[in-house]
Amino acid sequence: MNSSNLLSITTFIYGFAAFFYIFAVVFKKPIAGRLGTWTALAGIAGNISGIVLRWVESYKIGIGHAPLSNLYESLVFFALVIVVIYLVIERSYANRTIGAFTTPLAFLAMAYASLSPNISDKIQPLVPALKSNWLIAHVIACFIGYAAFAIAFGLSIMFLFKRNDSKEESHYLKFFPDMKILDELTHQMIMFGFLFLSAGIITGAVWANSAWGRYWGWDPKETWSLITWFVYATLLHARFMRGWHGKRLAYLSIIGFGAVLFTYFGVNLLPGLHSYGQ
């Protein structure tokens, strides 16, 4: 079995995990939530194994680089980090309903990577600009940040559902974490993601200087990364200085994740030096 086949199987494992979590919320079946946890753990095992196997395969064909260099590989890593962060939250807060709003994001990332006809899963040699020791540090930092923002997005959706039904007339909302917990956890995820996004931008600037002789060139990806950074910086400023929380924080979190998605996917439609999606 090659890495692409293993990662395709992992896609369906994440799909089953998302299904179990959603089923547990809708039908109030705790056993389905437990199945979701174990299935998500199996997905992590498959995801890590697929990444390691792909790395080994790259050396076997004489290319030899970390599998983080194109859209396919970045989506695979993105999905992995989402599920890992979620399971840490699940263990910390002993609440599986959050999985119904986060594991589907990992599944969609893997499904897009594995099933989209526009994305190639072939291992390709690095272009000269990507042959740098900064590759791993930059990509890992950025995608840990993106994954944290994805979790914050899911938590924000949960908060708005809970807020719009404050009387908890919908039976499944009774099992959601308290709104204060959702609000604080969203804030924590945004702070966590912001730190890693900042590290990603800094390492990217150093890498750009090494590759192209300048720290910043206003490439579309660089520009939108900065815009995304400012969106979340504004959110954190509003939280600390203005005391914004609740609905305002949730909406800003959703807007911020929209900026993340455009930074990740949208700018690939524009000419630039970054290779994702090309």
DSSP state of 257: H
Query: Could you tell me the CA-to-CA distances from 209 to 66, 214, 223, 245, 272 in Å, in that order?
Result: 21, 4, 16, 39, 16
Q: What is the pLDDT of residue 156?
A: 96
pLDDT tens for the 278 residues of the chain, in order: 899 999 999 999 999 999 999 999 998 889 999 999 999 999 999 999 999 999 999 999 888 888 988 889 999 999 999 999 999 999 999 999 999 999 999 999 999 999 887 788 888 888 777 777 788 899 999 999 999 999 999 999 999 998 876 555 566 677 889 999 999 999 999 999 999 999 999 998 888 888 777 887 778 888 889 999 999 999 999 988 888 888 999 999 999 999 999 998 877 665 555 544 44
User: What are the CA-CA distances from residue 24 to residues 63, 162, 176, 214 (Å)?
Assistant: 44, 17, 12, 51
User: What pLDDT, on the 0 to 100 scale, is given for residue 62?
Assistant: 85
Residue whose pair of structure tokens reads 């609740």 in the numeric block: 246
The Cα–Cα gap between 192 and 172 comes to 29
pLDDT of residue 272: 53
- Residue with tokens 């999905």, as numbered in its chain: 79
- C-alpha 102 chain-centroid distance: 9
- The dihedral formed by the CA atoms of 81, 52, 69 and 230, expressed in degrees to the nearest 10: 20
Domain ranges across the chain: 1-118, 133-278
How many residues make up the chain in this entry?
278
Write the CA distances from 140 to 66, 68, 82, 270, integer angstroms: 11, 8, 12, 23
- Residue given tokens 């979190």 in the structure block: 253
